Structure 1
């Protein structure tokens, strides 16, 4: 190709209008993600990234080629569905109907049991859990389902509100009786996992897995002498007394990431099953049987 041809192509590329991506995020997420480095990169790639004005109707906003959002309040969802009815050709990441299932801690995990993974050495499963819409005969129900302490008590809804984050670690029957969480809620077995969680971020076909500090393991002898019930807001204070920075750093260093082939297969199949392009999920390694387990999927955290 001649120099004149290359210059002609460059001129044609630079003359193209930028690809306009609008975003609707909470102020906290804007502060976390919309960094100068990101804006510089998108500008280099011919992309104009700009915020929507949430105080104005979505249909009245400037034209754009794609919309990325992480909001779930009813007024926004109504506006978004109305916008899609008028502009079905404009990609929205992600569609509110597909996101809706992730606001329920039972439905968000249902697809896991239907994944068709090829690995013969690693398996994926959900920790034993129980959905309760009434507090009646709770202990009997736990026994009949063979669910054992300690348990994590979570509200059923995972919609990003303060109430959805009111979770507790329940060590025994006394703690369960003292639980003030109103039904419906979910009780999930706490699985010892070496104090490390693997967070997997998915953006289309791009997949990234990283290690993060998590709750420490709970030994059998500790169950008999520990607190009956511990809200998650107090767990950091408890673990700070038991773990030094050096011990946590050693745990993080020694924790082995799941094989990238396994992570990529799980992420790809989840993306297809959930019909989502922008989400993340957590995996933990079961310390008892050395299996990789999905602990929960959080794809739209507010």
Structure 2
């Protein structure tokens, strides 16, 4: 009689919108066929009463949820939590988020990497102080300090002149805008798996053009340019061919991804990277997100199923890093 294959239970706790986008029937069916059962965690019941789970996959926040996870892992020390709440919280602050990039010790030969120059402003008065910016040069990207996935945390602006700063609401991170050819590289990380894709980004801003632009413009306005004076940007996107943009070497981004995964103690994240047009082999990491929209990634069902099995096997062999 053939030996029954061990099945693995992955309990998931996600907000409704995240669950709808990530837990697709195609993922559930593929995983089930390979011995992985994706089991919804009932948020109306104590976590301690549910399971047993080999792994808990989550993207929920708050002290109550953290306490439930803590209690569950104390009762079930063999359960893998993807990922630790304390590690995720580092990405909720845009300064601590990118600090880890500056601390990476990754070999840099032909290609180099870093982060843009940036400062954080905590009060409104500092925005009107001429000395606040220091060495930062316009244009600037203004981002809320808190990056918790809320609608408020996504409200960003491209600030062209000093008067545009006065519209910003502290605490805010001011990041020097770097011309990057209108292309952003989104690097998805799933354990050891790394996938880089290209996306359109904000167009370059020349010195001449900077003098003619208004104080600031929100990102939603930049991505929906309809005014007559913005037709030049429309033409920019029409003439830009995304497929012509050269991808960064896979070995290079894989090294960065591995370094970030180990430094942050996270298995599921993506990071946004741009290439400085002034220094063609210089890349800048501008954002890191926990548990991004993997359903947009090609063949995400197979990638995630492989990852779940890898986690389960490492757990069985006590090799999980």
The TM-score with structure 2 as length reference comes to 0.84
Give the corresponding residue for 1:206. 193
Which secondary structure state, in structure 2, belongs to the residue aligned with residue 147 of structure 1? Answer: coil
Structure 1 stretches lacking a partner, 5+ long: 1-7
**Residue 61 of structure 1: aligned partner:** 50
Supply the RMSD in Å over aligned alpha carbons.
2.0
- CA distance in 2: counterparts of 1:300 and 1:244, whole angstroms: 34
Q: Give the Cα separation in 2 of the matches to 1:177 and 1:103.
A: 24
Q: Which residue of 2 aligns with 1:230?
A: 217
Bigger CA drift: 252-261 or 213-222? Answer: 213-222
Distance apart, 1:61 and its partner CA: 1.6
Deviations 1:74-133 (A, max 9, x none): 332232223223223200000011111111000011111121222311111110100111
Stretch of structure 1 that moved more, 121-130 or 56-65: 56-65
For residue 204 of structure 2, the aligned residue among 188, 192, 217 is: 217
CA distance in 1, matches of 2:6, 2:74: 26
Give the deviation of 1:17 after TM superposition.
Answer: 4.5
User: What residue is the counterpart of 2:130 in the other structure?
Assistant: 140
Q: Give CA-to-partner distance per residue, 1:50-69, whole Å, 9 cap, x none.
A: 21112221112231110111
- Whether the 8 Å contact between 1:155 and 1:165 is mirrored in structure 2 is yes
Q: What residue in structure 1 maps to residue 183 of structure 2?
A: 196
Alignment of 1:47-196 (within 5 A): 47-138=36-127, 139-143=129-133, 145-179=134-168, 181=169, 183-196=170-183
1:24–1:68 contact (8 Å) kept in structure 2? yes
Contact 1:142 1:148 in 2 (8 A): no
SS at match of 2:112: coil
SS at match of 2:114: coil
1:300 CA drift (Å): 4.7
> Residue in 2 aligned with 1:21?
10
Determine whether 1:247 maps to 2:250. Answer: no
Contact 1:99 1:300 in 2 (8 A): no
CA distance in 2, matches of 1:56, 1:245: 53
CA distance in 2, matches of 1:221, 1:77: 51
In the TM superposition, residue 244 of structure 1 has moved relative to its aligned partner by: 5.0
Residues matched between the structures, number: 287
TM-score (norm 1): 0.89
Q: What residue ranges of structure 2 are gaps of 5+ in the alignment?
A: 294-321
Instruction: Work out the CA distance in 1 between the residues paired with 2:183 and 2:264.
Output: 26
Contact map agreement 1:194 1:251 (CA 8 A) in 2: no
For residue 34 of structure 1, what is the aligned residue in structure 2? 23
> Displacement, 1:269?
0.7
Q: Find the residue that maps to 1:68 and give its secondary structure.
A: strand
1:20 shift after superposition:
0.4
Contact map agreement 1:283 1:295 (CA 8 A) in 2? yes
In 2, Cα distance between equivalents of 1:185 and 1:85: 38
Question: Is the 2:11–2:57 Cα contact (8 Å) retained in structure 1?
Answer: yes
Q: Which residue of 2 aligns with 1:276?
A: 266
